[in-house]
Amino acid sequence: MLADASPANAKVGQRTLAALKQPGAEVVVPAIWPLEIANVLARSEGKGLVNESQIAAFTGLLKRLPIVVDLESAAQSLERTLELARRHRLSAYDAAYLELALRLRVPLTTFDAELKRVASRTGVDLFPS
């Protein structure tokens, strides 16, 4: 976990990683997710929070986890995702996660307080609860 992560966010991250290591586990992420991860890592390195070898170790871990990138999320971006972003005043990026959780009827993991609030209002379960 990054050094500047809040204790609550670090705990959610650790629980999510632990769940992903369980047999049969799988997580589905929208197509934007790999770019968001790359952005967080690049910005964290720029701030001196991580170094190149730590990034390599973390990306190696991510590649071994059962993470599936949902390509349908890109097809939804100019319709359902845009509609959700407008209706709930979310960024299109956050709305992509909400759209995926609604479409697949799966729990959502997020650190974003506003996205958690909207997810709860729209009937999306949060993981871990």
Q: For 37-81, write each residue's pLDDT tens digit.
A: 999 999 999 999 999 999 999 999 999 999 999 999 999 999 999
In sequence order, what DSSP letters do the residues of 11-37 get, joined into one string? HHHHHHHHHHTSTT--EEEETTHHHHH
**Cα–Cα distance, 109 to 129 (Å, whole number):** 9
Closest Cα partner for 28 from 84, 69, 76, 57? 69
Residue 120: how many other CB atoms lie within 10 Å: 12
pTM: 0.85
Domains and CATH numbers, the chain: 26-121 (3.40.50.1010)
**Cα–Cα distance, 74 to 21 (Å, whole number):** 27
Mean pLDDT lowest for which of 58-67, 73-82, 84-93, 120-129?
Answer: 120-129
Mean of pLDDT over the chain: 91
